[in-house]
Amino acid sequence: MEVNTTQKMDEVNDKTKYWETRLKEMGYRLSGPRRIILSKLSENREYLSADDIYMMVKKENPNIGIATVYRTLELLTRLDLICKISLGSYRSFYMLSENCKKEATNYLICNKCGRIITNNKCLDSNIRIRLKEDAEKNIFKNCRIKIDNYQIFFTGLCDKCA
Ligand SMILES: [Zn+2]
């Protein structure tokens, strides 16, 4: 138990140091809102909306306003510390860059609540691999485009909304 707590503390410290260094390299410092947003995103493996992030930030520091959250999200996206996907013209979702580069090749989007589920377990890995390979071959055959990455969006109703 104690080991786990110490390990977790070490992880948090390592991450904080990493963000601090990255921001410093680009001429920025790790301000309070930046640190809170990055740590909230690092605790979540799913894409979060700006509103979700704002609610989490507010719990930790009620003095941080929504405008600061939006501004910080834009900055962190520009600096490539977080990645952003936009659905339609009005909703944007965010994830820590190291997480979205590692996973997330398929997104399941709920039409009702707008939740995005990026859990790769929802689709068996053999189907995922076959889908990718078939698409790769077919796209190359038809259009001579060699793809190196792909994203698939499925829409429907999530377990809570169904
Ligand atoms: Zn839903």
Higher pLDDT, 152 or 52: 52
Dihedral sign, CA of 78, 83, 87, 90? negative
Q: Cβ distance 48 to 95 under 8 Å?
A: yes
Residue 74 predicted with pLDDT over 90? yes
Task: Give the distance (Å) from ligand 1 centre to CA of residue 153.
Answer: 15
- State in Å: Cα 47 to ligand 1 middle: 14
- Checking if the pLDDT of 35 tops 80, the result is yes
- Which of 48 and 36 is assigned the larger pLDDT? 36
The predicted structure's pLDDT at residue 47? 80
How high is the pLDDT of residue 61?
95
Nearest Cα neighbor of 76 from 37, 39, 105 is 37
Strands of 82-87's sheet, edge to edge? 48-49, 91-96, 82-87
Q: What is the pLDDT of residue 101?
A: 63
Torsional class of 87: left (φ above 0), alpha (ψ -120 to 50), beta (otherwise): beta
Token pair 């965010």: residue: 94
Amino acid identity at 141: K
Distance 106 CA to ligand 1 centre (A): 17
> What domains lie within the chain, and their CATH numbers?
1-103 (1.10.10.10), 105-162 (3.30.1490.190)
Q: Is the pLDDT of residue 151 over 80?
A: no
Q: Is the pLDDT of residue 117 over 50?
A: yes
Residues, the chain? 162
Rounded to the nearest whole angstrom, what is the distance from the C-alpha of residue 62 to the centroid of ligand 1? Answer: 28
**Residues 17, 36, 96, 65: is their CA dihedral positive or negative?**
negative
Q: Is the pLDDT of residue 73 over 60?
A: yes
**104 — pLDDT class (breaks 50, 70, 90):** very low
How far is ligand 1, taken at its centre, from the CA of residue 20, in Å? 36
